[in-house]
Amino acid sequence: MSEAIRVENLRYRYPDGTNALKGVSFGITEGESVAIIGPNGAGKTTLLLHLNGILRGEGKVFVFGEEVTKRNLLKVRKLVGLVFQDPDDQLFMPTVLEDVAFGPLNLGLNQDEAIRRSIEALEMVGMSHAANRSPHQLSFGERKRVAIATVLAMQPKVLVLDEPTANLDPRSRRQLLKLLKQIDVTKIVATHDLDAALALCQRAILLDKGEIVADGNIATLLADESLMESHGLEVPPTLLLHQIPRKL
C-alpha cells in the first residue's frame, strides 16, 4: 500500500507565541485508521489543520507523495477531507442538499454530477430524507452526519475527523461509530473519546505539548496505565472491563 500521509519535522507557533507543534514526524499508510490522542492543548487540532493546508507551519506535509504547498491546495483538499468538531462550522446554506453540493460545485463539477454525489453522500450517512430541510432544523447528531456528508461528496481518499463523538447522546454516538466503521478510506481521528478511538482505529499516536510521546498498537498503548496517567489520560472503560479478574 502507498503512504497516504507523511509529516516531517512539523513545527507551528501561534501568533501569541504558543508552540503548538514541536518537530512532529510520522507516516500513515493508505487504508490505515489512526487515532490522534492527547490532553487538552496537546496540539491535536493544530496538527489536523495542517493535513489539508488550512495551517502551514515549518517542516513538510506530504499527501500521497506530494508536498502540501500554496500552489496545490485545491488538489490536496480533494484528497483530504476534514470534518470539524462543530458541524455548524461546515453548514451554512439554506438546505442540506445545497450544503453537501457546495464542495463538489467548487471543485468545478457540473450541477448534475454535484447533485448526484450529494444524494449518494447523504444516503451513506442516512440523511437523504433531510435533503430539502434547513440544517438548523436538525438535531446536533443529524447535523454531524450532514457535515460528514459534505466531505464524503468530495470523495476524499483521507477522512480527517476532529472529535467526531463530542456532544453526542449515546444513541447518536453509536450510530456515528457504526457509520464511520463502514466508510472505507484512510481515517485520522483526533478524539478524547478513547473508547471510540479503540472502536475505530488500530493505531494511536499520543501527542502531548506538541510532541509525539508514543505511537503504536492502540489497544497496547491505551492499556498502559502509567503512560496514560502521565499524559493526563485514563485507560478507557472498555479495556478496564477486560482487565477485571474473574472470580473463582
Does residue 245 have a pLDDT over 90? Answer: no
Residue 127 lies in a domain: yes
Residue 149 lies in a domain: yes
pTM over 0.85: yes
Collapsing DSSP states into helix, strand and coil, what is residue 101? helix
Residues above pLDDT 70, as percent of the chain: 97
Q: Give the pLDDT confidence of 33-68 residue by residue, as tens digits.
A: 999 999 999 999 999 999 999 999 999 999 999 999
Q: Distance (Å, rounded) from C-alpha 79 to C-alpha 100?
A: 17
Question: Could you give the angle at which helices 140-152 and 96-106 cross, rounded to 10 degrees?
Answer: 20
Residue 124 lies in a domain: yes
Domain count for the chain: 1
Host domain of residue 26:
3-243
Rg (CA), the chain: 18
Q: Which CATH number goes with the domain that contains 174?
A: 3.40.50.300
Residue 248 lies in a domain: no
Residue 195 lies in a domain: yes
Predicted local distance difference test score (pLDDT) of residue 223? 94
Q: What residue type is assigned to position 74 of the chain?
A: L
Residue 111 lies in a domain: yes
Does residue 102 have a pLDDT over 50? Answer: yes
